[in-house]
Amino acid sequence: MNVLTIMLQAAGGGNFSMIIMMVAIFAIMYFFMIRPQQKKQKEIMNFRNNLTVGQDVVTAGGIYGKIKDLDVTTVTLEIASGVKIKIDRNSIFANAQQGTNN
């Protein structure tokens, strides 16, 4: 019975340090993983909101094209001379400078 009492008292003192350790781990995860991801998502959202006709872009699927028309939810891309596709605005991933292979 005395051994059980001693073990419970020792475990009770460790709870405070365990809580501090868990808070520290969460803070580290927030500043090194969650916060940078939220910042990147904000930048992508601002980029998609500021798209303009004539801008060269890359889709999430890796298709390079020039924006020919913008709607609220869709974008019409010209991927080759006379070849246009309509895609979801959220599929636009990044700004791109196309080469001269068109």
Q: What is the pLDDT of residue 6?
A: 61
pLDDT at 99 over 50: no
**For the chain, what are the domain ranges?**
1-50, 52-95
Integer Cα distance of 7 and 14 in angstroms: 11
The CATH architecture to which 52-95 belongs is Roll (2.30)
Q: Characterize 49-66 residue by residue with b for buried, 16 or more Cβ atoms within 10 angstroms of its Cβ, and e for exposed.
A: eeeeeeeebbbeeeebbb
Amino acid at 102: N
Overall average pLDDT of the 88-96 stretch: 88
pLDDT band at 18 (very low <50, low <70, confident <90, very high): confident
